[in-house]
């Protein structure tokens, strides 16, 4: 999910060492950075809870040949 420059915000997150270790392992298992893994976790949680705005489909994505 690439974003345009200036479309992201930074913030500080404090986690205990056990949580950080688990995040680092999970990220490595999926070939992501810890930051990328956290972004994925947050996006998935928002999507599953219905709190993430739905993307509009483009007309070229409708599956019809043309």
Tell me the two tokens of residue 45: 């949680």
Answer whether residue 64 shows pLDDT above 60. no
State percent of the chain over pLDDT 90: 65
pLDDT digits (tens, 9 = 90+) for 14-44: 999 999 999 999 999 999 999 999 999 999 9
pTM of the model: 0.70
Domain containing residue 29: 17-52
Backbone angles phi, psi at 28, to 5 degrees: -65, -40
Residue 63 lies in a domain: no
Q: What is the mean pLDDT of the chain?
A: 86
Residue 61 lies in a domain: no
Looking at residue 4, what is its pLDDT?
59
Considering its fold, how many domains does the chain have in total? 1
CB 37 within 8 A of CB 26: yes
CB within 8 Å of 33: residues ≥ 6 apart: 27
């Amino acid at each position: 999910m690439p974003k345009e420059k200036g479309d992201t915000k930074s913030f500080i997150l404090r986690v205990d060492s056990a949580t950080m270790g688990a995040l680092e392992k999970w990220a490595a298992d999926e070939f992501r950075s810890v930051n990328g893994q956290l972004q994925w976790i947050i996006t998935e949680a928002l999507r599953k809870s219905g709190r993430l705005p739905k993307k509009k489909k483009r007309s070229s994505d409708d599956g019809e040949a043309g």
